Amino acid sequence: MRRCSLTLVVCAAAAVVMMGTGAHAQTNAEVNAAIQFNFSTPGARSLGLGGAFVGLADDATAAFTNPAGLTALSKMEVSFEARQWEYTNTYTWGGRSFGEPNPDYEIDTAGITTGEASDSTTGLSFLSFVYPREKWAIAVYRHELANFETRFRTQGAYFDAFDDLGDGYQEYTFRFYPVDAFLELDIVNYGTSAAFRLGDNFNLGVGVSYYDFQLDSTTNRYGMWNADFPEDPGGFWGVPDYSASNVLNYQEQTGDDTDVAFNLGFLWKLGEKFSLGGVYRQGPSFSYNTRNVAGPAAANPGEEFAAAEAEFNVPDVYGLGFAIRATDAFTVAFDYSHVKYSSLTDNIVNIFSEPAEYPDQDEAADRLTVDDADELHLGLEYVFVNAKYPVALRFGSWYDPDHRVRFDGDPGEGREARALATSFREGDDELHYSAGIGFIFGETFQLDAAADFSDNINTLSLSGVVRF
């Protein structure tokens, strides 16, 4: 086996590889892989119940979760919620994915090293008004579907792969360019829902949402030079040089778009104690622009290598829920949701080069995939009904299958496929645990708080309801 030496030719080749390795989601920029959607249902009560609310749908948050439930209300309601999300994003920081480490360099270690970045956002996540009548109800609401930001740096992992860099098809050692990336994503839903009572026990709901989408992301890639002293900072075997003048190229993703989508739901009361609900929520689709531009460390700063328009497809959701009102004090809810995450990898755009310019890159990107998720939610609520001010305790849990974008199958020995297999790795299924408390002050005001914990996302919520 021939191990490549640190030459300008090899570094240049490696640079090309790295430009093609960040492929994810709607574009192949690795920063997109960390995006978290807030598909949990709005309201602290619902959060405390582990998001199991489709079959219950008996407060103002049903406007989004299952509009059919709005007919349960008999008084006008205003509700509001503030949430804080704490995200822990994992990414390929360094190490080595393919081949044996070079013992001459400390930085080249066996196995992939995973990095973790923690970020948090806070926002007014839900605001609604419900106007109920005898056989129908309408609601208007604002809901933050996504409020996400992340920032992280990578060191650049090593891997061996075969390629023809001008001196025949042979094996080289490649290194990912170190990156410094950030991404901010906001999707706000301005919706209106209507519910209709069809007979004594069956309710139907329909909603239309106007979604406002904002995306801002930049990923800087830093050069690796210093051929004479490759172990020094900024060298091929050295720690990265993150200085602004060392940006070799950067990728931008910017979007400001809107879309309209609808949702449908039903709620069927099966006697006094049981109810069955179902919902379909269409995911909106947005357009945004991508660019790959040469940085100050490149020979031709400012040159635009590629520009394209990409689509951001929010997954559709299908939900089915069952609720049991065992007594006036005790309620159980169970939801099943199918989330069409696979739409995230429909029509991936190569942010790094023009179409067909590097067929190997395009081919490897086509092998990025994400599985649909089948979520299970369970929630329990107990209310101390006869306290001076009734207090509600809630507990929940939900199963969140892995839905990371990942490279599908055996990458073989080629560099593009191995590069993607290094950056796009499977995640783990997660189990969320939630707990909440609610204070009911007469019939006009209610205050709820809840927290949902998992390995990668913690959510805190505070919400209130005013009836009049």
Partner 1 sequence: MPRRSLALLLLLAVAAVASADYRESYRNAIDAIEKKKDWATASSYLQAAIAENPAEGGRVKLYGTRYKEYTPHVYLGLAYFNLGDCAGALREWQTAASQGVANMSEVEGFRVQCQASARPTPAPRATATPKPAVTPTAVAQASPTQTPAVSDAAALLEAIRRAENELGKAETAEGMVTRLRADRTLADAWAREAQLVRDLDDASRSLERARAKLRSGKTGQSLVDVDEAIRLATEARAKLEAIPQRLETARTGLEQRPTPTLPGATPTWPLPSPTPRGPTPTPLPASGVKVPAALLSAAQAFLGGDYQGTIDLLADENFAERRVSAVAHLLRAAARYVLYRSTGSADEALHRDAEADVRSSKRLDSTVVPDPEAFSPSFIEFFDRTR
Residue 324 corresponds to which tokens in the numbers above?
A: 């049991």
Is position 72 an interface residue for partner 1 (rule: CB under 8 A)? yes
Q: Does 390 bind partner 1 (CB under 8 A)?
A: yes
Pattern of binders to partner 1 over 417-436, x per CB under 8 A?
Answer: ------------x-x-----
User: Residue 83's closest CA among 44, 117, 118?
Assistant: 44
DSSP codes joined into one string, 359-399:
HHHHHHHTTEE---EEEEEEEEEEEETTSSS-EEEEEEEEE
Distance CA 37, CA 56 (A): 23
Binders of partner 1 among 101-140, rule CB under 8 A? Answer: 132-134
Q: How many residues bind partner 1 (CB under 8 A)?
A: 40
Q: Taking the complex as a whole, how short is the minimal distance between the CB of residue 461 and partner 1, in angstroms? A: 15
Distance, CA of 99 to CA of 110 (rounded, Å): 9
Using CB under 8 A as the binding rule, the residues of this chain from 27 to 46 that contact partner 1 are 45
For 191, the token pair is: 């919706």
Binder among 93, 148, 174, 334 for partner 1 (CB under 8 A):
334
Cβ 415 vs Cβ 17: under 8 Å: yes
Q: Which is closer to partner 1, CB of 165 or CB of 392?
A: 392
Please give the Cα distance from 380 to 48 (Å, whole number).
8
Letters for 278-317 (x = contact with partner 1 by CB under 8 A, - = none) are ----------------------------------------
Q: Answer for the pair 363, 23: CB distance below 8 angstroms, yes or no.
A: no
Please name the residue that has the structure tokens 């499977």: 426
Site for partner 1, residues 262 to 281, rule: CB under 8 A: 272-273
Per CB under 8 A, 457 contacts partner 1:
no
CA pair distance 300, 294, nearest whole angstrom: 7
> How far apart (Å, rounded) are the C-alpha atoms in residues 102 and 83?
47
The verdict on 373 binding partner 1 (CB under 8 A) reads no
Q: Binder to partner 1 among 17, 365, 440, 460 (CB under 8 A)? A: 440
By CB atoms closer than 10 A (0-12, 13-18, 19+), residue 455 is middle
Helix (H/G/I), strand (E/B), else coil: 33: helix
Nearest residue (CB) to partner 1, 305 versus 322 = 322
Exposed, middle or buried, 327 (CB in 10 Å: 0-12/13-18/19+)?
A: exposed
Q: Please choose, out of 32-40, 211-219, 359-367, 392-400, the segment that lies near partner 1 by the rule CB under 8 A.
A: 392-400
> Is 242 or 399 the residue whose CB approaches partner 1 more closely?
399
Distance between CA atoms of 283 and 81, rounded to whole angstroms?
22
Quote the least distance from Cβ 467 to partner 1, whole Å: 7
Q: Can you tell me which of 67, 99, 238, 438 binds partner 1, judged by CB under 8 A?
A: 438
**Phi, psi angles (nearest 5°) of residue 253:** -130, 115
Question: In the complex, what is the shortest distance from the CB of residue 437 to partner 1, in angstroms, rounded to a whole number?
Answer: 11
The binder of partner 1 chosen from 6, 40, 58, 315 (CB under 8 A)? 58
Which of 378, 417, 450, 457 touches partner 1 by CB under 8 A?
378
- Shortest reach from residue 409's CB to partner 1, in Å: 26
Q: How many residues does this entry show for the chain?
A: 468
Which of 130, 204, 383, 457 binds partner 1 (CB under 8 A)? It is 383
Q: Which residues bind partner 1 (CB under 8 A)?
A: 45, 58-59, 72-75, 132-134, 272-273, 324-330, 332, 334, 376, 378, 380-381, 383, 385-386, 390, 392, 397-399, 429, 431, 438, 440, 443, 446, 467
